[in-house]
Amino acid sequence: MVRTISRAVQFWALVRTAFSNCSHSEAKTAEKENEIFRLIAENSNDVIICLGPGNVPTYVSPSATHVLGWDAKDLLAKGPESFVHPDDLGKLLEAQTIIESGTAERVRFTSRVIKPDGTIVWVEGSSKAYCSKSGKSKGAVLVVRDITERKALEDRLNAMALMDGLTGLFNRRAFDKTLEEELGPQDKELSLLLLDIDHFKAFNDCYGHQAGDDCLRQIGGILNSISAAQQGIAARIGGEEFAIILPKVDAAGSLSVAELVRTTIQRLRIPHDGNLECGGYVTASIGVSAIAHFARSGLGDAKRLVSGADSALYRAKHEGRNRVAGFIVPADDECSIVPELDRDAMRRTAKKGTLTPSK
């Protein structure tokens, strides 16, 4: 009997020792893991942020000072509304709500952070939930990195993709995109000018492509200047073909702008022996169309606006070039062209606003 009790005591002593050793081992393992985490967090170029319940930050790595411009202690004391750009705050909070609700285990986001000096840092982040052993959510870990330089490069590449390399104007892709966007609101005026340099192939044949490029650049500069003054958009949509989108400009105003463009190009007095019918200088023919002329349906409006300006441009060329023609669709939908413009009337219209066509 005594021997049995002794053996039982020995057994439980061994069990206690085993558990004690196990607990000691687990503690050492946890301590080692914490040290590894600290080394990673404090030496990483990325910012590591631990969020507790309610998205309250409990830890911010020291790299926050270098990357975000804020000290870790400042970020711990402030809410995200203090440093996240107002336009991006909603997206960030939505990402954290998704993590907290368990809808997704990981969410990626991009946002802007406002430094204490007011400058903007673009950051890319990943938020991942972490849970207790029972599976209950304990918060999230955010890993954030600076992508400002990458974002600037992307913006430059996107801008280049929308620009004409020769003239610096928008290209056809940007023109199509902008026209569709401007046609969105149903209650505003919108006009379109299509311009073609008269006998430009003959100009290239006579003077060479370098002179042709110089001519296109000069005309591009004129279109850019005039369209900007009218809060419009100028684009090169083909070899010698250009367009100007004029938001908030009605039919009469767009005719005045077109006449200003035409006369300004003529006054460059660039010699063009292949254009003797227009005085031996570079000139342009322009077609004008306004959205107010059409019964707007939304679908197909851009195509009809371009088609109207193109028809007017064809008429301007057919009647002798170096002129402006407008396209009108009456109420009965029978298309008609304005073959000749009353330039005195246009000047009177222009005087009512801020535009004065050159003679």
How would you class 263 by CB atoms within 10 Å of its CB: exposed for 0-12, middle for 13-18, buried for 19 or more? Answer: middle
- Identify whether the C-beta of residue 305 lies closer than 8 Å to the C-beta of residue 179: yes
Longest dimension (CA), the chain: 131
Q: Which of 77, 234, 107 is nearest to 167 (CA)?
A: 234
Q: What is the DSSP string of 146-179?
A: E-HHHHHHHHHHHHHHTB-TTTSSB-HHHHHHHH
Q: Report how far residue 191's alpha carbon sits from residue 174's, in angstroms, rounded to the nearest whole number.
A: 17
- Of the residues 31, 33, 180, 240, only one is catalytic, namely 240
In what helix (H) or strand (E) does residue 274 lie, and over which residues does it extend? none
E-assigned strand segments in the chain: 47-51, 57-60, 106-114, 120-131, 137-146, 190-197, 233-236, 241-247, 284-290, 324-328, 336-338
Sign of the Cα torsion 300, 305, 306, 308 reads: positive
Q: What is the DSSP string of 244-260?
A: EEEET--HHHHHHHHHH
Tell me if residue 317 falls in helix, strand or coil: helix
42 catalytic per annotation: no
> β-strand 324-328 against 241-247: which pairing, if any?
unpaired
Q: What is the DSSP string of 72-84?
A: HHHHHHS-GGGTB
Which residue in this structure is represented by tokens 């009605």?
A: 250
Sheet of 47-51, strands arranged across: 57-60, 47-51, 137-146, 120-131, 106-114
Q: Which are the catalytic amino acids?
A: 240
